[in-house]
Structure 1
Amino acid sequence: MKNSFRGYIEDRTMGDASNMAPELAKYLFENGGTIIITDVPKGTDFGIDLKSWNTGENFKGMKMIPPGLHFIHYRAVNELGELSPRVGFFHIVKEKEILVKKWSKLAEDLDDQEINEEIVMRFKENLKDLDKFLGPYPYDMWKPWKDLTSKIDDNLIERCRPLCGYVRSALELVHCDDASRPRGSQTRKRRHHVMTLEEKEDLLLPDLKPLPGTELRLTQLPDKYYPDDATPTEITQYSLDSSYALNILLKKVKDPVEIIGELQLSFVCFLVGQSWDAFEHWKKLISLICRADRIIPERRVVYVEFLRTLEIQLAHVCEDFLCDIVSSNNFVYHHLRILFSNIESNSEVDGRLKSEAARARNRLTSKLSWDFENLQDEEDDEAPVVVAIE
């Protein structure tokens, strides 16, 4: 069944603004933001935050958008009705703001050129006449979206978003030499270290990199988990406890909790922006945080926020998607078992964090039927394998 923004958006999942409390509807109508997009072709997949719709012939944009952070996204449609990969951008909507964008038919994309201020003023003056062509923001989505993005601020967005301003699910790749290939030179030059499966697979990748300016600028994760002067025994220990590498990562950001904001940003870029690179970064952050042990007591605030954030995120993804296609191993569940085990056995962890972890375990068990019993008993096939590369 399809509803519509008064016939201007063919809605798949949209809530009706008429269900909103009159006081709230009045406030958003008078103070909410407005996005105006001209010349959008019929059938374009247009969305904001967690929902999307197919546009109708008279679609001009959205109104009553709550002030705050939003992710606007779209997928162009060609003459055959085929949709292109998703493109999106972050924008912090201010009260009563009117954001104007123009669709380029030639590029089948939003026009990058800045809209003339006179045109923007003309839209402001005629906003009442445009009202019937604007769809209301689905307010039932606002709280879940805020929960998913609670630690993302404008500084984090400015640091992490692509220089081009748009998050693209399909990046244009260009040829490069091995030295500039992502992780290429590092992987091939390092010797006498623990090589992960990912590093082995990286050796087989072609010499390609994203077109400069289009990639997400997420914090670079440590390329090794141990100091340069570590002995073979210490290398093994550092590989089992990622505290050293996590501490290096946290020193790269102004505030340690900023890494939780980056965890949220990479998740929504994957969930809504359909970015595979963001998904891979999200997984690596989870692995790095969960496999640390020694550092937990001194970074307890990070771990409290991590548990709360991850629990919220897990409500938005299918469990099957988290399973490795070969081993059928759920990587989030596997890493959470490691984290809960570390928290449980670490005598330096305070009682409040232990209690917070226990409550998270119980909620996840109740919602997802995940078994977190016998955390100290590690199965043979889950035990880490350390391989020294000569």
Structure 2
Amino acid sequence: MKKRQIIVKRWNRTTEDLDDVVKSEEEIERLRAGLKDIDKNLGAYPYESLKKWVGLTQHISQSVLESLEPVSKNICSRSQIESEETRSVRDEGTLTSECGSSLLPTAHASSSSSVQSDVTVQESQLRLSRVPDRKFPADATPEEVTRHSMDHSYALSCMMRDYYGNDIKNLLGELQFCFVCFLIGHVYSAFEQWKCLIHLLCSCDEAITTNPDLFMKLINTLHFQINEIPEDFFVDIVSRTNFLTTTLQMFFSTLEESTTVDSQLRKRGLQFRKHLTKKFKWDFTQPPDDCQPVIVDV
């Protein structure tokens, strides 16, 4: 009977990365038996931050993590790239081994006949969902186009169906995954995705009424996330506007003005607004710039 082999991670001092190392079950058992012996060489877990960490990651299930993490399972602040020449050599080597052909151009000929460029290694990229650019159905009437462009509930429902299996935990899991990847790993693409998802959710009028549980959990998620960032982090240097204040303002206005929204959700949302106003001195009373009246000189 063939013995089962298990892959463990080992730190490589040369590459400063974790390598996959194959171990047998017997070796794994010996490692587990000796865990207590290495405790004195490890840092103590900061249990005082456990509650905070749970609040930042509680919706990131194993399935959510496996669907979003790079194929390489390494999350880097800078995407790995390879040159066109390197890619040509790799591709030609694969073709040669598969086809047994000696008629393929050499790496030197390939690189001299084309402009050398860099391409992103796909295995190192996060596999995030895609927020649709078009927020309305393909056969929408002009009236529907206007409505769906203002209320993004249709776009949210499409994403829930296509990416999240209509499970709000999967959506919130990606929101938390993106935030943690930026907070800990400094991955800018994750930050941009986080902003897109926040803007989408805060632009939904109908969904706030039909799915109050999602937005109740969204408020709780944002509460933990906002506490981890500096007050002026989202301020645009040019316009001096704060991304979160302008985005959350739409959400709070919907909660305040809608007659069909769940009363508990409205209460929780307005309490959250009061908390943000008191703690960060953020002003949610001024309408966004695009809602301000425009004065035209004739």
**TM class by shorter-chain length?**
0.7 to 0.9
> For residues 159 and 128 of structure 1, what CA distance do their matches in structure 2 show?
33
Aligned to 1:322: 234
Q: Secondary structure at the match of 2:124?
A: coil
Match for residue 261 of structure 1 among 145, 153, 173: 173
Q: 5+ residue gaps in structure 1? A: 1-98, 177-206, 385-390
Tell me the alpha carbon deviations over residues 211-247 of structure 1, each in whole angstroms, 9 at most, x when there is no partner. Answer: 1221111222223111112344543332222111111
Aligned to 2:114: none
Q: Is the 8 A contact 2:8 2:21 kept in 1?
A: no
One-letter code aligned to 2:122: P
Match for residue 114 of structure 1 among 4, 18, 22: 22
Match for residue 105 of structure 1 among 10, 13, 18: 13
Question: How far 1:304 moved relative to its partner?
Answer: 0.6
Tell me the alpha carbon deviations over residues 19-71 of structure 1, each in whole angstroms, 9 at most, x when there is no partner. Answer: xxxxxxxxxxxxxxxxxxxxxxxxxxxxxxxxxxxxxxxxxxxxxxxxxxxxx
**Superposed CA RMSD:** 2.5
Question: How far 1:301 moved relative to its partner?
Answer: 0.7
Aligned to 1:363: 275
Question: How far 1:257 moved relative to its partner?
Answer: 3.3
- Matched residues, percent identical? 38
Question: How far 1:117 moved relative to its partner?
Answer: 4.2
Aligned to 1:270: 182
> For residues 311 and 128 of structure 1, what CA distance do their matches in structure 2 show?
37
One-letter code aligned to 1:121: E
> For residues 237 and 81 of structure 2, what CA distance do their matches in structure 1 show?
26
The question of 1:226 aligning with 2:148 is answered: no
Match for residue 216 of structure 2 among 285, 295, 304: 304
Match for residue 141 of structure 1 among 49, 60, 69: 49
Higher relative CO (Cα under 8 Å, sequence separation at least 6) belongs to 2
Match for residue 239 of structure 1 among 136, 146, 149: 149
Residue 175 and residue 284 in structure 1: after superposition, are their counterparts in 2 closer, same or farther (change >3 A)? Answer: farther
The question of 1:172 aligning with 2:172 is answered: no
The question of 1:340 aligning with 2:248 is answered: no
Structure with the bigger percentage of helix: 2
Structure with the bigger percentage of strand: 1
Aligned to 1:152: 60
Tell me the alpha carbon deviations over residues 297-327 of structure 1, each in whole angstroms, 9 at most, x when there is no partner. Answer: 1111111111111111000011222122322
Tell me the alpha carbon deviations over residues 165-220 of structure 1, each in whole angstroms, 9 at most, x when there is no partner. Answer: 111111113589xxxxxxxxxxxxxxxxxxxxxxxxxxxxxx97631221111222
The question of 1:211 aligning with 2:133 is answered: no
- Scaled by the length of structure 2, what TM-score is found? 0.77
After the TM superposition, which residues 49-128 of structure 1 pair with which residues of structure 2 at under 5 Å, given as runs? 101-128=9-36
One-letter code aligned to 1:151: H
Tell me the alpha carbon deviations over residues 253-308 of structure 1, each in whole angstroms, 9 at most, x when there is no partner. Answer: 12123211211111111111211111011000000000111221111111111111
Q: 5+ residue gaps in structure 2? A: 1-6, 85-116, 293-298
Q: Secondary structure at the match of 2:147?
A: helix
